[in-house]
A and B are shown apart, each in its own frame.
Chain A
Amino acid sequence: MSILISKDTRFIVQGITGREAVNLTRENLDYGARIVGGVTPGRAGRDVYGVPVYDCVRDVVAREGAVTGSVVCVPPGFTRDAVFEAIENGVELIVVVTENVPRKEVAQMVELADLRGARIIGPNCLGLISPGEAKMGGIGGPAANTRQAYKPGNIGVMSRSGGMTTEIASTLTAAGFGQSTCVSIGGDAIIGTTYAELMPLYEADPQTEAIAIYSEPGGRMEAELAEWVKEHASRLPIVAFMAGRFMDQMQGMRFGHAGTIVEGKEDTTAEKITRMEAAGISVAERIEEIPELIRKRLAEAG
């Protein structure tokens, strides 16, 4: 088991003929993904590594059958429309890779997804992977690199940074911990699915035994996670790593991702660490401490 994707997930790539999308299509296929079609308006009839290209999502669904997922890899000005198109054609899981989408448009995408029962991961993310099964998006890069960093196992990983998802998975793998599903949730101020919103899925997944998260200054996502953990008496031990501690002293300066800015006390790493620890989440000082903390927490849990 895993969450959100498995080797049977049929998905499409929107914007499939773009440079980055061509690369990720290749990498995903090499890793075993079932990409049943791609969309680029005006390019119907072509193919990308054997994946047929259509003008619209409706045509993919009509010719190839229903699809569960889509990776949206189109420029920021076209992202909202592409996501609306996916949602209105019955796609349930939409991974938005695109960076620099204005907040209002993200909110509109999320609101429509909520109305239709769809889920958005991202924007500004590298996608997700269930190691040994499949991946959606650029996470892990070329298949050989992905296989080196990610191994199947029992740890769920959630990260606001795409690159750090792989760093953490690689560290876990080296310490003998495989992963169930790793999700790059995105670095924007508003994202489709937060830590707390993924927790029920991990909670229900028999394969997942512990969670590792990467977090940053800015936003209320860590506070939301801490509340969720307390309210639901989660069975899963969580170990968090908090980057950007230097930013606590630098109000109003933006570093890293669009959502990473300290505007008030609640945005600081100090405040987030306090809240998470109060909820029983272990906070690592360094990435390499994560496996040891997980081992300790799992032993305590018996």
Chain B
Amino acid sequence: MRFYEYESKELFRRRGLPLGQGRVATRAEEAREIAAEIGGPVVLKSQVLSGGRMKAGAVKFADTPDECPALFDAILPIEVNGQKARSVLVEEKSPVAQEYFVSVTWDGRRKRPVLLFSDMGGIDIEEVAREHPEHVSKTHFSTILPLTPRIAKEAIGATGVSGSHLNRLTPIVFELMRIFLDHDLTLAEINPLARLDDGRFIVLDGHVDLEAEARSKHRALLTELGIGEDETRQAREPTPFEIAGRKVNEADHRGVAGNVVEFDGNLGLVIGAGGGSLTLFDAVRNQGGRPANYCEIGGNPSVQKACKLTKLILAKPGVEKIAVMMNVVSNTRVDIVARGVVKGCIESGKDPAEVIAIFRIPGAWEDEGFKILEKYGVEYCDRNVSMYEAAGRAVAKLGAAS
């Protein structure tokens, strides 16, 4: 879950990292006030959950407070990589002598956190790694041994930095490593970390990502930063359909019937589980089908939960039929899903035999499940029909219908 720059900097400030003077403005006039408080040249930066702001023109400079309102109004509407800006950060603009890059992230292969440091900051780090590999260091560190500054020192020193610069940088880099581990982050990045003409080191830009799984552990911090419980900070904001899907899932703790993602097709999908849904979604699309949604059921959801999910999908505009499909199930019971889906169709005022294009869930309690489907005249199949073939039958039925 990505933090905005101003939220990341607030976290850095609390942990004692050096920052320039400034704060966030939500109104044009406020931008002028902040600039007046700072009393010198400022930079205005769009607060958006994406890189590439400079290129998009969402970062501007002002020499006087009076220039700020117009620049604020110019920046705020700019979308950067499809992301809307929330506000504008107004900060002091300081003459920079040198820029550094520091980031801490996870290396899934080594299963350790990795510290990346470069004395060529401010530009694309991948490019620096390609063109000037001697200016980038990569250092894995332990998650169970006490964290001490020597790792930061070695990482910085490996790029050729020495003298007072090394000694000034070490505590900053070390603190970033600690922040990363303390807050269950998946990314903590400062780029650039600047050495100013006056010798100070400050964080010019940076951001952090908090692991979604660790949200509940850090609720207090999130509240203090003003990050709402409903903010997913995914690549795009959830749609009302997706929010309704989340509510269906959260209303009942038994099993999963959620992770609903909206698409614009005519075939509603009641599919599962994690891997099965990915496989089935591909299978529908490969055979020319147009899914209305993605979703995951699993962990043996209750009849009610499967019913509500079915109703939600059937109520989505443009949905003509639904396909109910999973891989061979072990924990989820076929009969319970069958009962829930049939109930959902009936409560939506639809004939299950008409609206369910195919039911393909083999596995635990399948005989009981198939009996229910037979009673309502729903077309079903067992494991002898592959997931791909079942998806194809559903797509073919829609073709015949429209």
Q: Which residues of A contact B (CB under 8 A)?
A: 23, 76, 100-104, 106-108, 110-112, 126, 138-142, 145-146, 149, 159-164, 166-167, 170-171, 174, 187, 189-190, 194, 214, 216, 219-221, 224, 241, 243-247, 250-260, 285-288
| Beta-carbon contact of B279 and A104 below 8 Å | no
Q: How far is the CA of A247 from the CA of B277 in the complex (A)?
A: 12
Proximity string of chain B (277-296) to chain A, C-beta cutoff 8 Å, 1 when within and 0 when not: 11101110110000000101
| Beta-carbon contact of B106 and A107 below 8 Å | yes
Assess A189 versus B106: contact at CB under 8 Å? Given A251-B235, A253-B261: yes
Assess A219 versus B142: contact at CB under 8 Å? Given A161-B275, A163-B326: no
| Beta-carbon contact of A111 and B282 below 8 Å | no
| Beta-carbon contact of A219 and B108 below 8 Å | yes
Inside 8 A of B387's CB, which chain A residues have their CB? Answer: 167, 286-287
Inside 8 A of B144's CB, which chain A residues have their CB? Answer: 108, 111-112
Proximity string of chain B (104-135) to chain A, C-beta cutoff 8 Å, 1 when within and 0 when not: 00101101110000000000000000000000
A244 nearest CB neighbor, chain B only: B278
Q: Which residues of B contact A (CB under 8 A)?
A: 106, 108-109, 111-113, 142-144, 181, 184, 186, 211-214, 217, 234-236, 259, 261, 272-279, 281-283, 285-286, 294, 296, 298, 326-331, 362-364, 383-384, 386-389
| Beta-carbon contact of B276 and A163 below 8 Å | yes
Among A23, A101, A161, A251, which residue has the most Cβ atoms of chain B within 10 A? A161
Contact among B142, B211, B279, B383 for A111, CB-based, below 8 A: B142
A186 to chain B, nearest CB (A): 11
| Beta-carbon contact of A260 and B278 below 8 Å | yes
Question: What are the nearest 7 A-B pairs in CB distance?
Answer: A161-B275, A141-B330, A252-B235, A167-B327, A244-B278, A164-B275, A243-B278
| Beta-carbon contact of B298 and A163 below 8 Å | yes
Among B109, B234, B330, which residue has the most Cβ atoms of chain A within 10 A? B330
Contact among B282, B330, B384 for A140, CB-based, below 8 A: B330
| Beta-carbon contact of A174 and B383 below 8 Å | yes
- Sample of 15 more A-B contacts, CB < 8 Å, known A102-B213, A167-B276, A287-B387: A103-B186, A104-B214, A145-B364, A162-B275, A163-B272, A163-B274, A166-B330, A170-B328, A189-B106, A214-B275, A219-B108, A245-B282, A253-B236, A258-B212, A287-B388
| Beta-carbon contact of A255 and B278 below 8 Å | yes
Inside 8 A of B294's CB, which chain A residues have their CB? Answer: 255
CB<8 Å pairs between A and B, sample of 9: A106-B111, A141-B330, A145-B364, A159-B275, A162-B275, A164-B327, A167-B328, A170-B362, A254-B212
| Beta-carbon contact of A250 and B235 below 8 Å | yes
Contact among A106, A164, A171, A224 for B386, CB-based, below 8 A: A171
Inside 8 A of B261's CB, which chain A residues have their CB? Answer: 253, 255
Inside 8 A of A102's CB, which chain B residues have their CB? Answer: 184, 211, 213-214, 217
Inside 8 A of A221's CB, which chain B residues have their CB? Answer: 108-109
Q: How far is the CA of A146 from the CA of B334 in the complex (A)?
A: 15
Inside 8 A of B329's CB, which chain A residues have their CB? Answer: 141, 163, 166
Q: How far is the CA of A104 from the CA of B327 in the complex (A)?
A: 31
Q: How far is the CA of A102 from the CA of B215 in the complex (A)?
A: 9
A196 to chain B, nearest CB (A): 9
B271 to chain A, nearest CB (A): 11
Inside 8 A of B327's CB, which chain A residues have their CB? Answer: 161, 163-164, 166-167
A283 to chain B, nearest CB (A): 13
B144 to chain A, nearest CB (A): 5
Inside 8 A of A260's CB, which chain B residues have their CB? Answer: 274, 278
Contact among B111, B286, B326, B328 for A107, CB-based, below 8 A: B111
Assess A141 versus B106: contact at CB under 8 Å? Given A159-B275, A174-B384: no
Contact among A76, A160, A190 for B111, CB-based, below 8 A: A190
Inside 8 A of A190's CB, which chain B residues have their CB? Answer: 106, 108, 111
Contact among B143, B211, B212, B298 for A108, CB-based, below 8 A: B143
B8 to chain A, nearest CB (A): 18
Contact among A103, A108, A164, A246 for B276, CB-based, below 8 A: A164
Inside 8 A of A146's CB, which chain B residues have their CB? Answer: 330
B186 nearest CB neighbor, chain A only: A103
Q: How far is the CA of A163 from the CA of B259 in the complex (A)?
A: 17
| Beta-carbon contact of A141 and B235 below 8 Å | no
Inside 8 A of B285's CB, which chain A residues have their CB? Answer: 246
| Beta-carbon contact of B275 and A107 below 8 Å | no
A166 to chain B, nearest CB (A): 5
Assess A164 versus B211: contact at CB under 8 Å? Given A111-B112, A141-B330, A141-B364: no
Contact among A245, A250, A286 for B388, CB-based, below 8 A: A286
Inside 8 A of A112's CB, which chain B residues have their CB? Answer: 144
Q: How far is the CA of A29 from the CA of B278 in the complex (A)?
A: 32
Q: How far is the CA of A256 from the CA of B277 in the complex (A)?
A: 7
| Beta-carbon contact of A216 and B363 below 8 Å | no
Q: How far is the CA of A260 from the CA of B275 in the complex (A)?
A: 10
| Beta-carbon contact of B330 and A161 below 8 Å | no
Q: How far is the CA of A194 from the CA of B331 in the complex (A)?
A: 24
Q: How far is the CA of A286 from the CA of B285 in the complex (A)?
A: 13
Contact among B235, B330, B364, B386 for A126, CB-based, below 8 A: B330
| Beta-carbon contact of B330 and A288 below 8 Å | no
| Beta-carbon contact of B217 and A256 below 8 Å | no
Inside 8 A of B388's CB, which chain A residues have their CB? Answer: 286-288
Inside 8 A of A258's CB, which chain B residues have their CB? Answer: 212-213
Inside 8 A of B112's CB, which chain A residues have their CB? Answer: 107, 111
Q: How far is the CA of A54 from the CA of B155 in the complex (A)?
A: 47
| Beta-carbon contact of B282 and A244 below 8 Å | yes
Inside 8 A of B331's CB, which chain A residues have their CB? Answer: 23, 138, 141
B357 to chain A, nearest CB (A): 19
| Beta-carbon contact of B283 and A101 below 8 Å | no
| Beta-carbon contact of B211 and A103 below 8 Å | yes
| Beta-carbon contact of B143 and A111 below 8 Å | yes
| Beta-carbon contact of B235 and A246 below 8 Å | no
A190 to chain B, nearest CB (A): 5
Assess A247 versus B278: contact at CB under 8 Å? Given A102-B213, A170-B383: yes
